[in-house]
Amino acid sequence: MTTNTPYQDPKREIAGLTAAIEKRALIWLAAHLPEWVMPDHLTALGLLALLVGGLAYAWSGSVPALLFVVNGALVVNWFGDSLDGTLARYRQKQRPRFGYYVDHVVDAFGALFLLGGLILSGLVTPAVGATLLVAYYLFGINSYLATHVLGRFKLSFGPVGGTELRILLAAVNTVVYAMPGFHAFGRDWLLFDILVVGATVALCITLLRSVAQVTHTLYVEERV
């Protein structure tokens, strides 16, 4: 037998390097947006930006300048993805369940678009890029499960959150534009391969640490 309990919006936890200044900027933007702009419009804009970014990535192997289009798409994605929730809260028009679900489904498709485009670009070995995508999805699954059982939604891990990741990726795109590969130890290397492997390892370490922390917290709280 199951019982229905009222949905409680999880507590948002964010402590990224840019969190303080970003919060002030988002509130200012929310206060100055035209009334006809709605949170759903911003969510759709954020997803569309990642679709454009993915398409730009897919063609960037033959047209390297498209890497800067990807950077522009990351800026637009930040605008839409970060501002939709702020606007809803500013206007007192929150829809917690709808917003939580749609926001993270959009994130899942957005990652597929962006990393899928990178995998098709030829700038990264497909298996390396696919491994990062799988690690990202596992990280997301753990994050959403932890939010459900703890009632807290972590938007950053250490000093790194979504905004910091966008900044890092834009910086990587700029470096790859200047030097997509290099020769060392008697062979040619793709720069994206090295960086993506590093990102995957860091993501997996963070994932395992989070799993251990959540498991320990639940074990202590529900000790028999």
Residues 109-137 pLDDT 10s:
999 999 999 999 999 999 999 999 999 99
Q: Which helix (H) or strand (E) holds 162?
A: helix 162-178
Copy the structure tokens of residue 76: 């637009």
Residue 115's H or E segment, with its range, is helix 96-121
| Per-domain boundaries in the chain | 12-221
- C-alpha 125/C-alpha 190 separation (Å) is 8
Element (H, E) at 5: none
> Which contacts of 66-73 are long-range, i.e. CB under 8 A and separated by 24 or more positions?
67/173, 67/174, 67/176, 67/177, 68/173, 68/174, 68/177, 70/114, 70/170, 70/173, 71/170, 71/173, 71/174, 73/49
Q: Residue 151: its pLDDT value, please?
A: 82
Q: What fold is seen in the domain 12-221?
A: Four Helix Bundle (Hemerythrin (Met), subunit A) (1.20.120)
pLDDT under 70: residue ranges of the chain: 1-16, 154-158
- Strand pairing category for 156-157 and 160-161: antiparallel
